[in-house]
Amino acid sequence: MSKIIIDKAFIEKAINCGIPFATWQEPNSRQVNYTICNPNELIEIYSYRELDKYKGFIFSPFDACKHLPIYIIPFNNDISAIEFNCTELNNKLVGDLTKFNTSIKQSELQHISQVNRFLSAFTKTNVKKAVLSRNKWISEYHIFQMPELFNKLCSSYPNAFVYQVYIPNAGFWVGATPEVLFSTNNGSATTVSLAGTQPYNNEINKLVWDQKEIIEQELVTKHIRNVLYEFGIHNYKEIGPETAKAGKLAHIKTQIEFSKLLIANNVGKFIEKLHPTPAICGLPVKDSLELIFQTETFDREYYSGFLGPFNPDDKCSLYVNLRCLQAFENGVALYAGGGITPDSDPHKEWEETRLKIQTLEQILEQL
């Protein structure tokens, strides 16, 4: 079959017929991969432990529940959207503006207030860190520009996992995420602790991290170590912490590697314990989740969930869904968040989310 062409006509067909598809480019690779399936072949599950049964492109929410399942688009490169003879549903993807922040000033004031609420909660609970997120609505762009955005992201962020995904009940998402959740290759398994953010100034060795960001990243690393110990894994390798470049931003990164054989037939269970990590949730996980749900004014849905190609018997490349947007016919919603600790400065936390949103916004401006 000839290479699939993701363009406006393809997207219109996919939306009208409810055809799930995913295209992606892995870090340091120029190859664009894709999978597409008939609507009735789309897999929905609600427990990560079931993942070992399936192979395909996973699209998982931040918090899997009845209205936000874990989707799996089976690997299938032998069909194209042109082959679907469907009755067009005339579906429309229109963003509900009540769910998104349309005023920058109002969003800033709200975010600073929410950071202060977190800081107050730290003095009354055992929460050590919680991640606060927000969204930004931009009406100048629309869903049919997303193939062009995807191509520009692939060239602009070659070290990121770049993707575009459409699933009827999950929507149309595009992103360029730097954060590995879990990957396997040649018998080795890898996970990453990534936290702390500052602008990258072209001299990575001269970047200095403050104590707040160092502690924030170490909390993520400790969580991963605890998950490894829970699975009886004591023989593992840590690389870092070190400064890592992600586009025009820098983060503190620790890479952790171990033998995949140590979680044979339990990959789904391992992911269940790993996600959500403190990098997108907090510590303790249960208490920070409760604080997030009480404070954030929108449903994250698939933002800060995870996604990527998955084959438990072979290679997996799962990434946390960061630096992403959700596309509609009447605009796009960009997402970003940051880790809040007792040492956080509310105004600096706002600035961090602004820098993260710029990752996609600056590429959108090129369309």
Instruction: Using the predicted structure, report yes or no on whether residue 2 has a pLDDT greater than 80.
Output: no
Q: What is the pLDDT of residues 297-323, one digit of tens each?
A: 999 999 999 999 999 888 999 999 999
User: What 3-state class would DSSP assign to 13?
Assistant: helix
Is 295 domain-assigned?
yes
Determine the average pLDDT of the residues in 130-152. Answer: 96
Assess whether the previous peptide bond of 278 is cis (omega < 30° from 0): no
Is 310 domain-assigned?
yes
Kindly state the tokens that stand for 196. Answer: 């702390």
Nearest by Cα to 320 from 204, 176, 203, 136: 176
Q: How confident is the model at residue 232 (pLDDT cuts 50, 70, 90)?
A: very high
Minimum mean pLDDT range among 86-90, 187-191, 319-323:
86-90
Q: Give residue 86's pLDDT.
A: 66
CA distance 287 to 303: 20
The DSSP-derived string for 109-142 is: HHHHHHHHHHHHHHHHSS--EEEEEEEEEETT--
Instruction: Using the predicted structure, report yes or no on whether residue 3 has a pLDDT greater than 60.
Output: no
Is 2 domain-assigned?
no
Is 3 domain-assigned?
no
Is 16 domain-assigned?
yes
Distances (CA, A) of 137 to 297, 326, 330: 14, 10, 10
Q: How confident is the model at residue 213 (pLDDT cuts 50, 70, 90)?
A: very high
83 and 65 in contact (C-beta within 8 Å)? no
Cα-flanking dihedrals φ and ψ of residue 132, to 5°? -105, 130
Give the whole-number percent of the chain exceeding pLDDT 90.
Answer: 77
Distances (CA, A) of 254 to 68, 190, 212, 242, 306: 30, 11, 16, 7, 19
State how many domains the chain has.
Answer: 1
Nearest by Cα to 356 from 191, 194, 121, 117: 194
Is 73 domain-assigned?
yes
Determine the average pLDDT of the residues in 46-75. Answer: 95
Q: Which amino acid is at 367?
A: L
Is 1 domain-assigned?
no
Q: How confident is the model at residue 131 (pLDDT cuts 50, 70, 90)?
A: very high
Determine the average pLDDT of the residues in 32-37. Answer: 91
Is 179 domain-assigned?
yes
Instruction: Using the predicted structure, report yes or no on whether residue 115 has a pLDDT greater than 80.
Output: yes
Instruction: Indicate the average pLDDT of the chain.
Output: 92
Q: Give residue 38's pLDDT.
A: 86
Q: What is the pTM of this model?
A: 0.94
CA distance 244 to 254: 9
- 227 or 81: which carries more pLDDT confidence? 227
CA distance 111 to 277: 22
Determine the average pLDDT of the residues in 75-102. Answer: 70
CA distance 255 to 92: 42
Domain, as residue range, for 329: 8-85+94-364
Q: What is the CATH number of the domain that holds 78?
A: 3.60.120.10
Instruction: Using the predicted structure, report yes or no on whether residue 14 has a pLDDT greater than 70.
Output: yes
